[in-house]
A and B are shown apart, each in its own frame.
Chain A
């Protein structure tokens, strides 16, 4: 659905994105992650034909964004960051205008505009001026606009930014439902959201793709792997040395909490060392009050990938 080859964009003196290569297949929900200024919006603006790349190629629904820009644009629905809208138009009027602009035939106008208003929960504000709407409703108008011409592909630039937790949940639900019929490329800062909605993730940093995989694979491939926490009283034993002997344990560190010792173990990826830790503790008659495993989250992946070169 999207094919990007060696896409590069340079602004005066600075490179926004460099040699991006990725593909998004039909029906996928692709999450686009990266710190601010990593090049997410730039990539999305290029894909939506808003600005040309410096070099490289990209196609949307089989149409080259440069040579067949009009067809490419017909097949995609784009929601820009911050959702700029004409504040002096009314919701229905705006959506009808956008639908006509995107080539929705006159006889289907009422049906399409009605459908997207229904889908995005805009019925109760349909006669209001867009300028009088709250941020959440404006976001939904932007989404309705992106959907009104039944595009094969949706490109959403931070669809949940600036929304409250309830609204985020609603939009996330909406996106997940849309994912059944549409291919979606969305960018966001909210990682749990990506984990819940996206089938694949691209992590981009300083204009380069650092990782591209399913959320599960990304988490399981993390170098830091899993951490185990043990709170115990090891008495006179040297807990650190004993724990390090357990196969699969890479590193142990110790802090104290009152007269309890808190051991933090780093285990190799995929290894579950908890049974061994428990056996050791019971053999040595350590008093144990907690033994738990902390799973790496997408947030760890994100932080590791995007901060590795800064720290």
Chain B
């Protein structure tokens, strides 16, 4: 367990060694800040039936930035170690493959959570300035951030898997971006393809991140996405672990 934390701490620190962390942080704050500003301005001009908090987590801006950050966070995880050859000293140290995979995964997940922390202050500041609550209830905040963590868990596990497949970071980024975007569009099919059967559309609706975010950000904690994303994450991490082990036989 000590070794896991040693690995984990290096993974988290390694984001901050490279400019990637700062660029992603700035890019993300910029986009989410502009998103927040736009939502508030929009609501100032007309009457709407949702809160600032709901609007923030359901805007086009938000989703646009959202799918972009995962390839950026995950592309280097394994690919860089393969490319630089640092995988050799790493795996000849007495560590288990599983420890390495989990340390890399949780390192990325923790960095992702760090990325979101500043956005919580938007709501605090909003409340301080306007003396109006930004969200309809505490549950709405919890629900939104729960959904963020769930989606993050799953999408980062996809990025992990993409990175373990190649020694080229760009290839890893393209794979994870394509898969995540496709999954995301999958959830949109129910709004677009009106000629498919209602069962199919309902089924696809279960996978719709937008739909789920809509529900959770209102404060309705639905357990179905929790089960879906936790189990999908475990599946992707199992794939990652298997692919990581297979390197020995491919060498």
Contact = CB atoms under 8 A, between A and B. Distances in A.
Interface of B is mostly: helix
B88 interface: yes
Interface in B73-102: 84-89, 91-96
A132 to B, nearest CB: 13
A70 interface: yes
Interface stretch (B2-10, B38-46, B64-72): B2-10
17 contacts: A11-B251, A45-B88, A50-B88, A50-B91, A51-B251, A52-B248, A70-B94, A73-B94, A84-B86, A84-B87, A84-B89, A87-B84, A97-B10, A100-B6, A101-B3, A101-B93, A103-B94
A88 B84 contact: no
B17 interface: yes
B94 A102 contact: yes
B14 interface: yes
A185 to B, nearest CB: 14
Given A82-B85, A101-B6, A88 B94 contact: no
Interface string B13-54: 010011000000000000000000000000000000000000
Contacts of A88: 14, 17-18
A71 B17 CA distance: 32
A53 to B, nearest CB: 11
B92 A49 contact: yes
B249 interface: yes
A64 interface: no
Contacts of A263: none
Given A45-B88, A50-B248, 11 more contacts: A51-B248, A51-B251, A52-B249, A70-B94, A71-B94, A80-B88, A84-B84, A88-B18, A98-B93, A100-B6, A102-B94
Nearest to A145: B89
A208 B27 CA distance: 56
Nearest to A97: B10
Nearest to B96: A70
Contacts of B2: 100, 103
B1 to A, nearest CB: 12
A71 B94 CA distance: 7
Interface residues of B, number: 23
Contacts of B18: 88
Interface in A74-88: 74, 76, 78, 80, 82, 84-88
B91 A86 contact: no
A43 interface: no
Nearest to B3: A101
B245 to A, nearest CB: 10
Contact of B94 (A11, A45, A50, A74): A74
Interface in A99-153: 100-103, 142, 145
A85 B86 contact: yes
**Which of B18, B89, B92, B94 neighbours the largest number of chain A CB atoms within 10 Å of its CB?**
B92
B89 A98 contact: yes
A101 B11 CA distance: 13
A89 interface: yes
A86 B15 CA distance: 13
Given A51-B251, A80-B92, A86 B86 contact: yes
Contacts of B10: 97
A88 B251 CA distance: 27
Given A50-B92, A88-B18, A97 B6 contact: yes
Contacts of B94: 70-71, 73-74, 101-103
A183 interface: no
B95 to A, nearest CB: 6
**Which of B7, B93, B94, B95 neighbours the largest number of chain A CB atoms within 10 Å of its CB?**
B93
B244 to A, nearest CB: 13
Contacts of B3: 100-101, 103
Nearest to A73: B94
**Which of B2, B6, B18, B87 neighbours the largest number of chain A CB atoms within 10 Å of its CB?**
B6
Contacts of B89: 78, 80, 84-85, 98, 142, 145
Contacts of B95: 101
Interface string B124-141: 000000000000000000
A73 B93 contact: yes
Contacts of A71: 94
B5 to A, nearest CB: 9
A74 B17 CA distance: 28
B81 to A, nearest CB: 9
Interface string B233-251: 0000000000000001101
B17 A89 contact: yes
A71 B3 CA distance: 14
Nearest to A129: B17
A93 to B, nearest CB: 9
Interface string A23-62: 0000000000000000000000100111110000000000
A101 B7 contact: yes
